[in-house]
Structures are given as structure tokens and as C-alpha cells.
């Protein structure tokens, strides 16, 4: 177990979070990754870049997002107060835009005219298509054929925004395969293409860069807590697919030892059934998509197909920083089933008038469980990572309703 007291010091210069992270990629990508690291590490401290990013986040994304006390939900649950960090209110409807605005600015500074992205739920694809349209960049989005079917609305949104959506039919035809295909595109077009990875996975510097761009969520929330409540929350929770919204919320609080941190992974039909996507709760250390992290794989090292009702959590790996936080004992990772997420979705809709994304509904379900563990004056802060408009068809189909 790493003995460390400054969680903000990671990753090291090689992009390693303890035993996790790194750059496990083919030789051809080593140079473009080095170029990206060099550019990003320079921009990260460049006051002009930071000012431009802040302006975009404020005027285009609509930041800061509020911290909202869900009183009726809290009352209904009968435990601690449940607060939501409202990333669902961002432009394009999820936290994903924080990262794409940032990476698109990096792409622009690096002079790359073409961006590519992978997407699962389509939120990252939409957010990438959005920033590409705004900056006049060509945009190609890779999406698993299965996900294209279950997230039709987002596919159409991407097309309206001028992006080309390429169906991926290899492997399990979901997010992991879209990521493979985007990597193959990148390796073939390294000179003019910028790959905007949508979560804190991939090779260094992506887990660092994507975390940095989403860490605004936790920085705002921490300040908002102190301002509105004069204290920090007792416990944080967020859903974990690749882990970007979760690390976004968690990062600013990592050195606040009294704040408990719980990530909610997709337990699908239940971890015991094997039909799930809970890499941290039920996986083992391995190497996937350019980094060492927890993965779901068989004894031959083949990555296994995952299941979740939410496309955005349907991923057999997870960002390496979460693997590190798990081993260090700083964060806990637990599973939330499809049914529990659906129940939380409905409860939130009826008590608060908020349609949450299916991904975020996993976090809501976990927040409800946690609220029951704390006294009435306790505070559970939950990242409401996105809104549910994109999921209306999936939910209707699951419930046998025609729309």
C-alpha cells in the first residue's frame, strides 16, 4: 500500500499513479504523446490559456454549476441531507463538456485541424462535436454499433453539429471498441489529428489532463460547501465509468482526510451474475488502453464484455487514479445495479423534478444509500453528472412503453 499524504502530487513525471497509469502504447504513438505532454504541461501553467479556458467555462458552458440541496428527496429518504453538484445543467447536458472545451483549446494551440473522439453514451461525442463546431475543426466520432442503437438521440445530435459518426463493429461493439478504433485512427493520422479522450483513461498524459479539466467540479463544490454550509460534506459520491466525473468531484477533496469518498460502479444485473461493469469492485490489475489499471478480464487476459443499462458506464477498465485511490484506501468503490439506478431515477424525477442520466442515476442511488448511514445533519454530496434526456428511449423500452 502506498504511504502518501499528498494525493495532489500524483501522477509522477511518467504519468504513474503508484503502480497504475503509464504509457502502454505502440511505438508510433510515443512521439505524439510526448508532443501532447509537452504542450499540455506548458499550457497548464500558461496564464493566457487558463484565462481563455475560464472564459469559455463561464460564458459557453455556464459555470459555475450550482450545489443544490434536494430537500424533498432527502426527506423521503429520511437520512442525511443530499446535495447535488449540478453538472447536468452544463451546456450539452453533462460534465463531459468541461474536458472537451479544455482539450479543444489544447488542439487549437497545437495547430491540429482534425479532432477525433470515442463515445459510449454519446455525451462525450456530443461535447466533442460541439466544441469542434465552435472552433471550426473537423470532427470524427467513433461509437460502438450497440451504443448507436441505444443512444440514437445523441447520434443525431452529433450529426446536427456537423460531426461524422463512425459505427464500430469489432469486439463487443461498445465503448472499449470505440476507443480501440479511435486509437487506430490516431496512429494513422498523427500529423493532423488531435484525439480527445473522453474519460480519465488512456495513456499519459490523458488521465492527468482529463482530470485537470474536470477538477473544476470539485474545486467549485468545495468552495460552495464552505460558503453555503460553512463546512465540508461528510461523504462524496459519483458514478464511475472511466471515472472522469468522479475524479472531477473527488480531486479537490483528496487531502481532506475527514471527507469520505465513495465511487459507484455499474453492477448491472448484479456482480454475482457476471453481467456488470464494476472493474474496481470486481476486477483485477491489468493493462488496457494504454495504462495499467483494474480491468475485467478472464484468466487468458482477454477483456470481458461488460453489461450496464447505461452506455456511459459500460466499460471494462477505469482510470488509473481510481485504481491508485482504491489500493491506497482513500476511496471506496461499490456496485449499483441497473434496478437500483432505475429506482433512483424515478425517485429523483418525482421528488425533485430532475431527470438524471442513467449513469448519474447510479450515483443518486448510492447517495440515497449513504444518506441512510448518516444523521439528519450529515451531508452527502453527489455529482449529478448529466441529464437524462438522452435516455428517455432506453427507459421507455425497458418499461415497455412506446414513445
Partner 1 sequence: MSRIDRRFAALKAAGRTGLIPFVTAGDPSPQHVVALMHALVDAGADLIELGVPFSDPMADGPVIQHASERAIAKGVGLNEVLGWVARFRQRDAETPIVLMGYLNPVEIHGYARFAQEAVQAGVDGVLLVDCPLEEAAVLQPLREAGLQQILLAAPTTAPVRMAQLCGSAEGFLYYVSFAGITGAAHLSTGDIAARVADIRAHAKAPVAVGFGIRDAASAKAIAGFADAVVIGSALVERLAGATDAEEMTMRVHAFLAPIRSALDAH
Ligand X SMILES: Cc1ncc(COP(=O)(O)O)c(C=O)c1O
Residue 359, binding choice from ligand X, partner 1, none, Cβ under 5 to 8 Å by partner class = ligand X
The answer to whether 207 and 293 have CB atoms below 8 angstroms apart is no
**In the complex, least distance from residue 198 CB atom to partner 1, rounded to whole angstroms:** 16
The edge-to-edge listing of strands for the beta sheet with 193-196 is 164-168, 138-144, 114-119, 193-196
Half-sphere exposure of 283 (CA within 13 A, CB side): 37
Q: Which residue in 4, 28, 134, 255 binds partner 1 (CB under 8 A)?
A: 28
For 391, the grid coordinates are 435516455
**Cβ at position 37, least distance to partner 1 in Å:** 12
**Least distance (Å) between residue 304 CB and partner 1:** 8
DSSP 105-123: HHHHHTT--EEEEEESSSH
Please pick, from the candidates 79, 120, 202, 233, the single residue that binds ligand X as defined by CB under 6 A. 120
**CB-CB contact of 164 with 284 (8 Å):** no
Does residue 357 touch ligand X according to CB under 6 A?
A: yes
Residues 105/129, Cβ–Cβ less than 8 Å: no
- 323/382 with CB nearer partner 1: 323
141 contributes a contact to ligand X by CB under 6 A: no
Is 354:382 a contact under the CB 8 Å cutoff? no
353 burial via Cβ count (<10 Å: 0-12, 13-18, 19+): exposed
Stretch in the footprint of ligand X (CB under 6 A) among 14-22, 65-73, 166-174, 238-246: 238-246
Question: In the set 128, 199, 291, 306, which binds ligand X (CB under 6 A)?
Answer: 199
Closest CB 333 distance from ligand X, rounded Å: 12
Examine residue 239 and tell whether it contacts ligand X (CB under 6 A).
yes
Per CB under 6 A, 15 contacts ligand X: no
Q: Select the binding partner of residue 385 from ligand X, partner 1, none (C-beta < 5 to 8 A, by kind).
A: ligand X
Q: Does 176 help bind partner 1 (rule: CB under 8 A)?
A: yes
Question: Would you count residue 14 as binding partner 1 (CB under 8 A)?
Answer: yes
Q: What are phi and psi of 30, to 5 degrees?
A: -65, -40
**Of 118, 181, 220, 359, catalytic:** 118
* Choice between 47 and 300, CB closer to partner 1: 300
Kindly state whether residue 358 participates in binding partner 1, applying the rule CB under 8 A: no
Compute the least distance from the CB of residue 320 to partner 1, in Å.
13
Residue 343 falls in the annotated catalytic set: no
Which residue spans within 223-282 are E strands per DSSP?
Answer: 235-240, 260-268
Block residue for cell numbers 472511466: 242
Q: Is 100 in the site for ligand X (CB under 6 A)?
A: no
Phi, psi of 76 (to 5 degrees): -60, -40
Residue from 120, 144, 268, 290 that binds partner 1 (CB under 8 A)? 290
44 binds partner 1 (CB under 8 A): no
Span of 51-59, 86-94, 257-265, 296-304 interacting with partner 1 by CB under 8 A: 296-304
Is 52 considered catalytic here?
no
Q: How many CB atoms lie within 10 A of CB 231?
A: 11
Q: Which of 81, 18, 93, 6 is nearest to 285 (CA)?
A: 18
Contact between 67 and 228 (Cβ < 8 Å) = yes
Residues 6+ apart with CB under 8 A from 77: 368, 371, 372
Say how many C-beta atoms besides its own lie within 10 A of residue 58's C-beta: 11
Q: Coil, strand, or helix at residue 336?
A: strand
**For residue 230, how many other CB atoms are within 10 A of its CB?**
7
Catalytic residue among 37, 74, 85, 96: 96
Instruction: Decide: is 12 part of the binding site for partner 1 (CB under 8 A).
Output: no
Q: Verify whether residue 149 is a known catalytic residue.
A: no
By CB under 6 A, residue 386 contacts ligand X: yes
Select from 2, 62, 113, 285 the one that contacts partner 1 (CB under 8 A): 285
Determine if 286 is a binding residue for partner 1 (CB under 8 A): yes
Q: Which residues bind ligand X (CB under 6 A)?
A: 94, 96, 120-121, 123-124, 199, 239-246, 312-313, 357, 359-360, 385-386
Q: Which residues bind partner 1 (CB under 8 A)?
A: 14, 22-32, 34, 170-171, 176-177, 180, 183-184, 187-188, 190-191, 284-290, 292, 295, 297, 299-303
Amino acid at each position: 500500500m502506498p504511504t502518501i499524504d499528498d494525493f495532489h502530487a500524483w501522477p509522477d513525471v511518467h504519468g504513474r499513479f503508484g503502480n497504475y497509469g503509464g504509457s502502454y502504447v505502440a511505438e508510433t504513438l510515443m512521439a505524439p504523446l510526448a508532443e501532447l505532454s509537452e504542450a499540455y504541461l506548458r499550457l497548464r501553467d500558461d496564464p493566457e490559456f487558463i484565462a481563455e479556458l475560464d472564459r469559455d467555462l463561464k460564458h459557453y458552458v455556464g459555470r459555475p454549476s450550482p450545489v443544490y440541496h434536494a430537500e424533498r428527496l432527502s426527506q423521503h429518504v429520511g437520512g442525511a441531507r443530499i446535495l447535488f453538484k449540478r453538472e447536468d445543467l452544463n451546456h450539452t447536458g453533462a460534465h463531459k463538456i468541461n474536458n472537451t472545451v479544455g482539450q479543444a483549446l489544447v488542439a487549437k494551440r497545437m495547430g491540429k485541424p482534425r479532432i477525433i473522439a470515442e463515445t459510449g453514451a454519446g455525451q462525450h461525442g456530443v461535447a466533442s462535436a460541439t466544441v469542434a463546431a465552435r472552433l471550426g475543426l473537423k470532427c470524427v466520432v467513433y461509437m460502438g454499433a450497440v451504443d448507436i442503437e441505444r443512444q440514437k438521440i445523441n447520434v443525431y445530435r452529433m450529426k446536427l453539429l456537423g460531426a461524422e459518426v463512425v459505427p464500430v463493429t469489432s469486439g463487443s461493439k461498445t465503448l472499449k471498441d470505440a476507443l480501440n478504433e479511435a486509437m487506430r485512427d490516431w496512429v494513422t493520422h498523427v500529423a493532423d489529428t488531435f484525439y480527445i479522450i473522453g474519460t480519465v483513461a488512456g495513456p499519459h498524459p490523458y488521465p492527468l489532463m482529463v482530470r485537470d479539466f474536470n477538477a473544476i467540479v470539485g474545486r467549485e463544490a468545495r468552495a460552495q460547501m464552505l460558503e453555503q454550509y460553512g463546512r465540508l460534506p461528510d461523504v462524496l459520491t459519483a458514478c464511475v465509468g472511466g471515472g472522469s466525473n468522479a475524479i472531477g468531484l473527488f480531486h479537490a477533496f483528496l487531502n481532506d482526510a475527514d471527507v469520505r469518498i465513495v465511487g459507484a460502479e455499474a453492477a448491472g444485473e448484479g456482480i454475482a451474475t457476471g453481467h456488470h461493469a464494476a472493474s474496481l469492485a470486481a476486477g483485477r490489475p491489468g493493462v488496457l488502453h494504454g495504462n495499467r489499471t483494474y480491468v475485467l478480464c478472464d484468466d487468458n487476459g482477454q477483456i470481458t464484455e461488460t453489461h450496464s443499462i447505461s452506455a456511459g458506464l459500460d466499460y471494462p477498465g477505469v482510470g488509473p487514479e481510481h485504481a491508485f485511490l482504491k489500493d491506497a484506501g482513500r476511496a471506496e468503490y461499490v456496485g449499483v445495479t441497473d434496478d437500483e439506478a432505475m429506482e433512483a431515477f424515478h425517485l429523483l424525477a418525482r421528488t425533485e423534478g430532475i431527470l438524471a442520466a442513467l449513469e448519474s442515476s447510479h450515483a443518486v442511488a448510492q447517495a440515497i444509500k449513504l444518506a441512510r448511514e448518516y444523521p439528519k445533519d450529515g451531508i452527502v454530496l453527489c455529482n449529478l453528472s448529466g441529464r437524462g434526456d438522452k435516455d428517455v428511449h432506453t427507459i421507455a423500452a425497458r418499461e415497455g412503453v412506446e414513445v
